[in-house]
Amino acid sequence: MWNNFLWVVLPYLVLASFVFGHIFRYRYDHFTVTSKSSEMIEKKQLMVGSILFHIGIIFVVGGHFIGLVIPKTWTTSIGISEHMYHIVAVGIGSVFGIMAFAGMFLLTFRRLSNDRVRMTSSIMDIIVNLALLVTLFLGMASTLFANPANPGFDYRETISIWFRQLFIFQPDASLMATVPVFFQLHIICAFIIFALFPYTRLVHAWSVPLTYLKRSYIIYRR
C-alpha cells in the first residue's frame, strides 16, 4: 500500500497541486510573480551562486528529460550504445550537477548567514532553498554512489518507464520497488519541489524576459 501511495497516488497529488496552484496564482496573485532579488543587499555571493546554479540546473533538467522521456530503444536505434550513453550521462551530468549543487549551496549559505538577506526572506524562501539543496545532493549521491553500488540497476528500465506511464495514467508501482533508496529519496524531494512550485518565487522561471532583447537599456546610477 505504501509503495502504491508513493508511486501512483502521490505523483498525481503533486501534479494537481502544480497545475491548479499555477492557475490560482495567475488568476488571483500573478502580480507577485518575481524572483525577489536581494542584490542590493549583497552582490558577490549572489552573482557567483546564481550563475553556477542556473547554468547547472538548465543542463541537469535537460539531462533528466533525455533520460526519463526518451526511451532506450530510440537512442539505441540511432547508434548510441548503452555504455556510451551512460559514460556521457554520468560525465556531463556530474559536471553540471556539481555546478548546480555548489551554486545552490552558496545561495542557501548566503540566505541563512547574512542577517540582512535572512530578514528579507520568507519561510517559504528558506524551505525552497533547502529542498533544492537536498534534492541536488541526493541526485549527485544517486549518480556517484548508488549507481556504482548497484551495477545491475538501470533507471531507464525502471524509473523512466514508470515516469512515462504516469502520463498515460497507467503507472506500475512495482517498477519502483527495487529502485535504490537514494533514487527514491531524490524523486520524493523533487515531488516536494513541484508541489510547492506555484506558491513560491520559483514561478519566476516562467517569466522568460524575451522583451529584454528589443527594449532600450535601463541605466542605473548609484
- 212 occurs within a structural domain: no
pLDDT at position 20 is: 96
Tell how far CA 82 is from the center of its chain: 25
- 181 occurs within a structural domain: yes
- 217 occurs within a structural domain: no
Q: Measuring CA to CA, which residue among 85, 128, 90 is closest to residue 107?
A: 128
Query: In angstroms, rounded to a whole number, what is the distance separating the alpha carbons of residues 5 and 221?
Result: 55
What is the full DSSP assignment across 90-112?
A: HHHHHHHHHHHHHHHHHHHHHHH
Looking up cell 497541486 gives 17
- 167 occurs within a structural domain: yes
- 218 occurs within a structural domain: no
**192 burial level (CB within 10 Å; 0-12, 13-18, 19+):** middle
Distance (Å) of CA 184 to CA 93, 123, 204, 215: 18, 26, 28, 45
Query: In angstroms, rounded to a whole number, what is the distance separating the alpha carbons of residues 68 and 72?
Result: 9
Q: Does 28 or 47 have the greater pLDDT score?
A: 47
- 40 occurs within a structural domain: yes
- 213 occurs within a structural domain: no
pLDDT at position 37 is: 79
Tens digit of each residue's pLDDT (9 = 90 or more) over 75-85: 888 888 887 88
Query: pTM of the entire structure?
Result: 0.88
Kindly report the CATH number assigned to the domain that includes residue 102.
1.20.950.20
pLDDT at position 103 is: 97
Q: State the binding site for heme b.
A: 54, 64, 186, 204
**Residue range of the domain that includes 58:** 2-206
- 214 occurs within a structural domain: no
Helices 82-113, 123-141: crossing angle, 10 deg rounding: 150
pLDDT at position 216 is: 82
Length of the chain: 222
Q: Measuring CA to CA, which residue among 103, 114, 99, 18 is closest to residue 59?
A: 99
3 state SS of 120: coil
Split into its structural domains, the chain has a count of 1
Q: Measuring CA to CA, which residue among 65, 8, 9, 20 is closest to residue 197?
A: 20
Q: State the binding site.
A: 54, 64, 186, 204
Q: What rounded mean pLDDT belongs to the chain? A: 91
Position 204 confidence tier, pLDDT thresholds 50, 70, 90: confident
